[in-house]
Amino acid sequence: MDTTPAPRIAIVGAGPGGLICARILQRRGIAATVYERDPGPAARDQGGTLDLHAGNGQIALREAGLLEEFFELARPEGQEMRQMDPAGTILFHHVPEQGERVKPEIDRGRLRDLLLKSLQPGTVRWGHALRAVGGPVEGPRQLHFTDGTTIEADLVVGADGAWSTVRRAVSGATPRYTGVSFLEAWFHDVETRHPGIAELVGQGSAAAADGDRGLFAQRNGGDRIRVYIIQRVPADWITAGGLTPVDTDGLRAHLLERYRDWSPRLRRLIADNDGPYVDRPIFALPVPHAWEHNPTMTLLGDAAHLMPPLGVGVNLAMLDACELALAIARHDTVGEAVRAYEETMLPRSTEMARLLDGAADGLLSTELPDFAGAGDH
C-alpha cells in the first residue's frame, strides 16, 4: 500500500489555464488549490471573447469533461470574419458553414463561469495576491501573500499571467513592449443603439489596416461589440500627447484626426463608443524564454510564454494546463511530472513564440493578416 502523502499543489491564478489545470487534476483524484488575487468571481469584467481551437483549447476541454457544455455556450457564428481596407471595402469575407466547430467564440466570463462551476467547492481561494515564493528548490515551497499569510506547497504552478509573480522565482525575464498598442472601446445594445456598427461587424469580427493604423471589431455576447484601435506608437503615447486615459473626449478627437482619411463608417468604430477607452499596450516575453528545471515550480500560459495577441494565448495556456495535469497524474513525483511537461511545453512555446516574434506589426499590415484571433488575449 502506497503511504506517500499526496502532493500539495498550489496553482496561482484563476484564469482559464489555472482553472482547467485544477479541473483535470480533480477528475483524476488529485487535489489542487487555486489562489487568486481578485476578491471574488465578480470582482471585475473578464474582458471580451475568445476563440477556442480544435487543436489545443478544445483538447483541454475534452480532457476536462467540459467540451459539450462548451459547445452549448459557444457562438459558432462568431467565426465569421470580414477584412476591409480603410475605405470600408470588403476584401475577404469568411462565413462559417453550418456546424463548423474549428474555433467557435465564447465570452471570457462565460468560460470562467463554466470552469468555476466544474470545480469542487472551496478550490479557489479568492483575495490571495501573491507577494513572493520562498523555500528551498527541493521543497516545500512557501507562498507569501500580501495579506501576511503564508502557505506551504510541494508544487507551485504559475498561471498568473503576463506579469507573473511566480515567474520571478524561476526566471529573470520580463515582458517588453512590442511597439504596438491597442485602445479598447465598447458598444452596448448594438442592434438597437448602434445598428450601423452591428451591420458593419456582422456576427463575428471585422478588421482593417493601412500599415500604421488598424481597427479590429469583434461581436461579443449580450448584444455587445468590442473594438480595438491598433496603432504603432510609444507605450506612453497618451500622456506624451498631454492626455489621460480617462479623457475620452480628448482621445476621441486625437484618434479622429489620426484616422481622418478613413471611411466615415469605420471612423464610427472610434467615435461612437459607450463609455471610456481602455489603454492596452501589447507586451511580449523575450524569445526564447526558458528556465532551469525546478522540481517544485513551473509556469503555464502567459506566465511562461507571453506573445502578441494573435489567437494563440488562451489556447496554449489551456493545452499547457492539460498536459501538466496529465503529467502529474502519470508520474510518481511532481518533479518527474514537471520535467516531462516542460520537455514538451518549452519547445512548442518556443517555436510558436519565434513565429510570432515581431508579429504584432502584422496587425497593421495591408496584406490581410489573420485578425481573427486578435481577441484572444
- Give CA–CA dist 200/195, Å, rounded: 9
**Cis status, amide bond into 295, omega within 30 of 0:** no
Q: Across the chain, which distance is largest between two alpha carbons, in Å?
A: 75
**Other C-beta atoms within 10 Å of 91: how many?**
12
- Give CA–CA dist 164/112, Å, rounded: 19
For 184, the enclosing helix (H) or strand (E) is strand 176-187
**The CA-based dihedral angle spanning residues 44, 48, 52, 53, taken in that order and rounded to the nearest 10 degrees:** -140
- Angstrom CA distances, 105 to 56, 100, 310, stand at 14, 11, 14
Is residue 309 within 8 A of residue 361, CB to CB? The reply is no
- Angstrom CA distances, 367 to 83, 91, 208, 316, stand at 10, 10, 10, 26
Chain-centre distance for alpha carbon 168 = 20
Phi, psi torsion values for 235, nearest 5 degrees: -60, -30
- Give CA–CA dist 80/94, Å, rounded: 5
Cα angle 94, 98, 100 (rounded to 5 degrees) comes to: 70
- Give CA–CA dist 377/77, Å, rounded: 20
Question: Would you say 330 is a known binding-site residue?
Answer: no
- Give CA–CA dist 84/292, Å, rounded: 45
Question: Would you say 51 is a known binding-site residue?
Answer: yes
Report residue 96 as a C-alpha cell: 462559417
**Other C-beta atoms within 10 Å of 119: how many?**
18
Residue type, 13: G
- Angstrom CA distances, 292 to 77, 231, 296, 375, stand at 43, 36, 12, 32
Radius of gyration of the chain (CA): 21
Size of the chain in residues:
377
Annotated binding site for NADPH: 44
Annotated binding site for FAD: 51, 108, 302
Annotated binding site: 44, 51, 108, 302
